[in-house]
Amino acid sequence: MLSKTKNRTFTYQPRFSTKTKTAISSTDDTFVSSWTKEQKKSRKSRTTISIKVLLLLLVLLLIGIYYLETFIIE
């Protein structure tokens, strides 16, 4: 129903350059591959930690509400 939009990546290649094409492509490949590895790693760790923390806070909040409610009723 509601699908997430995929993050867009932008690969810029200059039209006019003093470097040779092979030198540009070799440095670009290493930079792009390292960038995508870091991007995937950080994205995975960020989402799993925040979901776990939010669930833990929700459970603690519900336990706290239940505990305080027992004092009000009695």
CA distance 43 to 49: 10
Burial 31-64 (b: 16+ CB within 10 A, else e): eeeeeeeeeeeeeeeeeeeeeeeeeeeeeeeeee
Residue 34 one-letter amino acid: S
Q: List, for residues 12-69, the tens digit of each pLDDT value.
A: 766 776 665 555 555 556 777 777 777 776 655 556 668 888 999 999 999 999 999 9
Q: Say what the pLDDT of residue 37 is.
A: 76
74 band by pLDDT with thresholds 50, 70 and 90: low
The Cα-based distances of 58 to 37, 45, 54, 71, 72 in angstroms read 32, 20, 6, 21, 21
pTM of the model: 0.38
Q: Say what the pLDDT of residue 8 is.
A: 75
Q: What is the mean pLDDT of residues 3-17?
A: 72
